[in-house]
Each structure stands twice: as C-alpha cells, then as structure tokens.
Amino acid sequence: MNELGRLEDLPADYREALSRQNLVPLWPSLRAVLPPGKPQPRTRATHWPYEALRPLLLQAGELTPIEKAERRVLVLANPGHGLEKMQASAAMYLGMQLLLPGEWAPSHRHTPNAVRMVVEGEGAWTTVDGEKCTMQRGDLILTPTGLWHEHGHDGTEPVVWLDVLDLPLVYYMEASYHVDGQRQTQHPGRGDRAYARGGVVPMPVFERSRKAYPMLRYPWADARAALESLAADQPALDAVQVRYVNPETGADAQNILGYSALMLRPGQTLALPARSPAAVFHLIEGAASVQVEDQRFRLAAADTCCAPGYTAVTLANASADRPAFLFIADETPLHQKLGVFETRA
C-alpha cells in the first residue's frame, strides 16, 4: 500500500483555506483513526493496590468533610488516558468512595449508570429509588441512570466501596449531568428478597414489573454460594463464573457495562482469550495474580487492576489450598450493542 500523504506536504495557503472553512484533510490522519489489523488502545494495564490507596482515602476523610465533598472519592485513573481524564478505560470510570460513621451523602440522580462493589465495613446503606440496600463486603448495588440515590452510615467503622460508572462514554456523548434532590422516603420491598433464589419467582401470578431494574442489590453471599455450587457440580469446568443479570429478563444487570464474579480453584491458572472490551478485575477474597501481556500484578484482597481490550489475560490463584474470588467489570454489553465485539485466539 502506498504511503499516505502528510499534512505538511500540503501548501500552507491550502491548509489555511481549509481551516477557515473548518475543514480537515482525512488522509494524513487516516491510519491513526483506522489502524491496520487491530485498535491501538490508550488504556494501559494498571494496578491499584488497596494497601497503598486506603490510608490516602482515610486521610481524605480527615481533610474534607462530607458536606464539602458530597461524594468523597479517589479516582482510579489510567495513565494511558491521562490522569486528568479520570477514566480507567475508554468507557469505564473507577473510584474508591469513603463514608464515615454518621455521614450522609445527599440524594441525587445522574445520567451515567453506576454500581457499587462494597470493599470493607458494615453499617452503611444506599437508598435507590426509595429501596434501602444494605451494604456488606462483596455486595453489588446498582444505581442506574436517572434513579435517585443516596448513601448513609449507621455503623461505627469506615465503609469503603468501589464505584464503577460508564461516565467516560456518557461524557463523550455530551449527555452527562446530575440533579440534586431531597432525602428519600424509604418504602418496603426489596428486589434481592423477591428474587432470592434462581428458578423461583413471586406469586400469585408472575408478571414483569414496570421497573427497568427490579433487583438493585446482589448480595455477595448469594453470588459466592452460586460459584461454589457451580464448581462442585462441574469439576472439569475451567472458568467458574457467574454473570449479574436482570432476574426478569436474563439480560445484563445494566445496559452499557457488564458485571460478573469468578472463582479460581486452589492453585488454578486460567487463560482468558483476547477480547475487544477492556476489563477491570477486583479481588474480593484470596490472593491472585493477573498477567496482562508482559506485566504481572499480584493482587491482595481489595486490589483492583485493569486490562485493555484485544489483550489476553491470565489469572492465577496464589493459594494452593483456598479459592480466590474476583469481581469483573467490562465493556461487553456496549461492544455487543455496537456490533464490534470480538474474541481473538
């Protein structure tokens, strides 16, 4: 293929004439936006150790009261995108949020979808659209687009959770905004109780609710039990993994990002194929390593790392006698909706 012309090859007066009309020649930049063979992600494999992050987050609690912060968060920024962009990948934002005893993070709603993966502590809760969701380690709580949500803490120790949002995508679309609200009135009824067991639904006659998100809290105790049951039932299964879904439709729990939990058997090494979406790995329990191309991250409990798309990933359990459990967030639903999802050998 012939080498494409460069911008500087064009006469200066021609370039100036283009600029005056808000025009840009494509050919000098064609290979940058359509590289040969596969994309060239800006997302870098990055590791955020919780041991290093936690004291800085607690210090933020001393330096900034919740009234001035509204949401006291340290953003897990990917250096490949530039720290000022505050994004972990092209479509994912990550943040570690701290709530201290007695604090209340006021009610608001926004266009980006969000989930909360509880990292440590007890006594906190999130109210979403009037439904109170208790927060325990490993729980996944949805705060979908447009729904009012607030956080409160009735316990005695700090509570920390990992935020995952599709904020970079919504911001890029120029559709990102929030609205402040009043403290919510909590109402009875909880989706995690109505849909507490797979294969059974509430009576007398099951009809799909009018809620786009009938289940907002996914307890870790249930997800962990499902993984252990799956591993025992299928001992030859390589990837012991469950996906968080809408219990009424079977679709992904949210419509842009996908969430799952994975169990590594004692001593297991699991090779994941290169797929188009970027992925985030957060270790809930145990010890594990994540190999991304030539980089290897050793994860302790509550550590988080990310891998760019089109990159093979190898997970390994560091323990020979105990399982390891990971929470995974990725861009799969978005890629599938856009028709660009692919897996490469």
Peptide bond just before 204 cis, omega within 30 deg? yes
276 pLDDT more than 90: yes
Q: What is the pLDDT of residue 211?
A: 86
Ordered DSSP codes for 208-265: --S-S-S--EE-HHHHHHHHHHHHHH-TT-S-EEEE-B-TTT-SBSSSSSEEEEEEEP
pLDDT-derived band at 4 (thresholds 50, 70, 90) equals confident
Residue ranges of domains in the chain = 43-344
Of 84-88, 202-206, 266-270, 316-320, least confident by mean pLDDT is 202-206
- Token duo for residue 280: 């985030």
Residue-wise pLDDT for 97-145, tens only, equals 999 999 999 999 999 999 999 999 999 999 999 999 999 999 999 999 9
Q: Across all residues in the chain, what is the average pLDDT?
A: 95
State the Cα–Cα distance between residues 59 and 53, nearest whole angstrom. Answer: 10
The domain made up of 43-344 is a member of CATH 2.60.120.10? yes
Residue-wise pLDDT for 19-55, tens only, equals 999 999 999 999 999 999 999 999 999 999 999 999 9
For residues 159 and 121, the answer to whether their CB atoms sit within 8 Å is yes
Q: What is the pLDDT of residue 206?
A: 60
State the Cα–Cα distance between residues 330 and 343, nearest whole angstrom. Answer: 14
Of 1-5, 182-186, 251-255, 339-343, least confident by mean pLDDT is 1-5
The set of residues, in sequence order, having a beta carbon less than 8 Å from that of 315 and lying 6+ positions away, is: 262, 264, 269, 270, 272, 281, 288, 289, 290, 291, 326
State the Cα–Cα distance between residues 335 and 124, nearest whole angstrom. Answer: 34
b/e per residue, 294-303, with b = 16+ CB within 10 A?
eeebebebbb
Question: Comparing C-alpha atoms, which of 81, 83, 61 is closest to residue 71?
Answer: 61
Looking at residue 186, the DSSP 8-state letter turns out to be P
Question: Comparing C-alpha atoms, which of 264, 268, 266, 267 is closest to residue 328?
Answer: 264
pLDDT-derived band at 168 (thresholds 50, 70, 90) equals very high
- Token duo for residue 105: 């993070």
Neighbours of 25 (CB within 10 A): 14
Higher pLDDT, 248 or 210: 248
Residue-wise pLDDT for 175-234, tens only, equals 999 999 999 999 998 999 888 888 887 776 566 777 899 999 999 999 999 999 999 999
pLDDT-derived band at 345 (thresholds 50, 70, 90) equals confident
State the Cα–Cα distance between residues 314 and 270, nearest whole angstrom. Answer: 6
Q: What is the pLDDT of residue 306?
A: 98
Q: What is the pLDDT of residue 2?
A: 62
For the chain, the 3-state helix, strand and coil shares in percent, each to the nearest 5, are 20, 35, 45
Dihedral sign (CA 119, 125, 126, 128)? positive
For residues 305 and 43, the answer to whether their CB atoms sit within 8 Å is no
Measured torsion, CA atoms of residues 33, 36, 37, 38, in degrees rounded to the nearest 10: -20
Q: What is the pLDDT of residue 197?
A: 85
**146 by DSSP, 3-state: which?**
coil
> Looking at residues 63-78, what average pLDDT do you find?
96
Q: What is the pLDDT of residue 3?
A: 77
Question: Which CA distances in Å does 248 have to 28, 175, 252, 334?
Answer: 50, 28, 11, 20
